[in-house]
Amino acid sequence: MLKAVVGFITGIVFIGIVGWNMADVMMLREVESPYGVEETAARIQRNMQSLSANGWTLSGLRNPAKAVANSGMNVPPVLLVEGCSTKYSGPILKNDATRILSILMPCTITVYKKDNGKTYIGLMNAGLMGKMFGVGDIMAQVAKDQEIFITFDPKKPAPPLIKTSPGGGGGAGGKASDGC
């Protein structure tokens, strides 16, 4: 009996250690981009717009690196491309139990440069997140769309970066907007 308990606890600890060390890979993905930061962000925006049939609109483009630079520090470029689909966000926001997941909205894809001079794309693992919080079906669709966002056609010319403001004007009860 004692052996069984010890084995069980050891197993849990082992799984815990593995899970802890794998957490970053499981929840976040990093993909190298063949383009520079601005062009990568612009191509993601264009791909997001191409999925307007799934309700996707651009919600904003943020530059946290600029804010850091303004406070007097050097950081490589980072751009946050924000988009939202009411088709997916609607059911989540409708339900009291899942409304707290609005903390993950809008859907953000980060584009950044690393010390090796290359550009990378960072995404959340929408499929896994969805399963963890009971909205697996919806987030599985988001995950599929994410793949399209980061699939680039090199034959197409570089689109202009859309310097859109964050969406959602007016707060609760305010003017409706396309985005979240």
Partner 1 sequence: MLKFKYKGSLLALTFVLSIGMIWPVHANDAKAPEKAVVSGAVDVFGIAVDEQKKKSTADHSKFKELQVDFKDGPAVTKACISCHTEASKQLHKTKHWNWDYINADTKQHLGKKNVINNFCTSVPSNYKFCTACHIGYGWEDENFDFTAEEKVDCLVCHDTTGNYKKLPGLAGHPNYKTMEWPPHSGKFRAPTDLKQVAQAVGKTSRATCGACHFRGGGGDAVKHGDLDSSLTTPDRYLDVHMDAKGLDFSCSKCHTSDSHEVAGSRYQPTAVDDKGTLIRGSKEERNAATCVACHGNVPHFGEFAKMNEHTDKIACQTCHIPAYARGNKQTKMSWDWSTLGKMDDQGHAMKIKGSDGSVIYDSKKGDFTFDHYVVPEYQWFNGEVEFTLADTKIDPTKVVKINSFKGSYDDGKSRIWPTKVFRGKQMFDKGNNTLVVTSLSDDPETALWKNFDINKAVEYGMKYAGRDFSGEVGWVETEMSWPITHMVAPKEDVVECHQCHTENGRLAGIEGIYIPGTNTTPLLDKLGFIVAFLTLIGVLIHGAIRYFMHKRGG
Given the rule CB under 8 A, which residues bind partner 1? 20-21, 23-25, 27-28, 30, 36, 38-39, 41-43, 60-64, 66-67, 69-70, 72-74, 76-77, 79-80, 103-104, 108, 110, 113, 115-117, 124, 129, 132, 157-161, 163, 165-166
Least distance (Å) from partner 1 to the CB of residue 81? 10
Q: 56 vs 105, which CB is nearer to partner 1? A: 105
Q: How many CB atoms lie within 10 A of CB 1?
A: 5
Backbone angles phi, psi at 109, to 5 degrees: -120, 130
Please give the structure tokens belonging to residue 150. Answer: 């980061």
Smallest separation, CB 108 to partner 1 (Å): 6
CB-nearer residue toward partner 1: 53 or 72: 72
- Check: CB of residue 149 under 8 Å from CB of residue 30: no
Nearest residue (CB) to partner 1, 69 versus 97: 69
CB of 34 to partner 1, least distance (A): 12
Nearer to partner 1, 9 or 25 (CB): 25
Q: Which is nearer to partner 1, 48 or 61 (CB)?
A: 61
Residue 52 CB, nearest approach to partner 1 (Å)? 20
- The encoded tokens of residue 32 equal 């190298």
Q: Which helix (H) or strand (E) holds 15?
A: helix 2-27
3-state secondary structure 85-151: EHHHHHHHHHCCCCHHHHHHCCEEEEEEECCCCCEEEEEECHHHHHHHCCCHHHHHHHHHHHHHHCC
Taking the complex as a whole, how short is the minimal distance between the CB of residue 151 and partner 1, in angstroms?
17
Q: Is the separation of the CB atoms in 85 and 58 below 8 Å?
A: no
